[in-house]
Amino acid sequence: MTHRDIEVNGVRLHLAEQGEGPLLLLLHGFPESWYSWRHQFAPLAAAGYRVVAPDQRGYARSERPAAVDAYTLLHLVGDVTALIAALGEGPAVLVGHDWGAPVAWSTAALRPDLVRGVAGLSVPPLPVSGLPPLALSRERFGEGFYQIYFQRPGVADAEFARDPGSTFRRVLFSGSGDRPGAERPQAWVVPDGQTLLDTVPEPEKLPDWLTEEDIAAFVADYAGHGEHAFTGPLNWYRNIDRNNELLTAFAGRGIDVPALYVAGDRDMVSALIGPDALRGILERLTPRLYGHVTLPGAGHWTQQERPAEVTAALLDFLRGLDG
């Protein structure tokens, strides 16, 4: 695996890459980095692919634009399209997890000429705009819903940056299939007068899929940015309503390339959507759906909690694309 920086769409992005062959872009989610794909690099590269995982705009080792409105989905899709062009090996297969999934789905919907296949982990292909408007989330879950909580300037930023090691332990464990009560996924809601990290205690013992070395790797990726280490990632959430405004013209647009969806049955995202609604979304927006894989016992951190199963699903999908 090699690491380098590249400037695309006016922003410097850090890349991890391995292998040669058709381009496969892995897009991480919140609050992670390229390192969330650590288990997928070697097997996908060995199967004959050029595997590239960027730290996306505002994350980890990549550049952090100062303006909040520099983190819209149009900017993020622009980063991916510019990256495909800069790497010179398109069209690409995109794989996105968590926030990386809306970026992958939206790129496939808006630029199918650059995408020959797309896989989303955890987050299904919502209608291009990314995430539901904040008013709907506020009506359903209340003012303490984490996406609403993240709108407060500087609050979660300082909270997460105070002790990044503790932040990663708490957030990764709380979203996993190993947390107490994980078989009954619930929305992430902050009670009045508490902080978000108050609601997710630090685990006494990490689950088997997560080590202290992994925590240290994430912390190292975010080192050197002080109290602003998480501001870029949080700014993605601060553009939810702006995304809906900017992408209104594309609402309901389907994804006209082969697609794969993978999620754990203990993932808060897919559980809150519900199996019937999820099935309807996939049928409506991904007419060329290759597969819908459910991972028993897995929570939100799909490719980290179930690396072998996720890699196997991706390789099967890639074989279907390439014959």
Which residues does the annotation mark as catalytic?
98, 300
d(CA 315, CA 291): 12
CB 211 within 8 A of CB 38: no
Q: In what order do the strands lie in the sheet with 115-121?
A: 2-8, 11-18, 50-54, 23-27, 92-97, 115-121, 259-264, 289-295
Here the tokens at position 109 are: 């919907």
Continuous H helices in the chain:
41-46, 73-87, 100-110, 134-141, 146-149, 155-161, 164-174, 212-222, 231-237, 240-246, 268-273, 275-285, 302-305, 307-322
Helix axes 100-110, 73-87, angle to 10 degrees: 70
In order, the DSSP letters of 187-241 are: --BPPTT--TGGGSPPPSS--TT--HHHHHHHHHHHTT-GGGTTHHHHHHHTTHH
CA distance 119 to 58: 23
Residue 132, CA distances (Å) to 42, 49, 55, 102, 313 in order: 36, 34, 24, 12, 28
Of 46, 92, 96, 102, nearest to 71 by C-alpha is 102
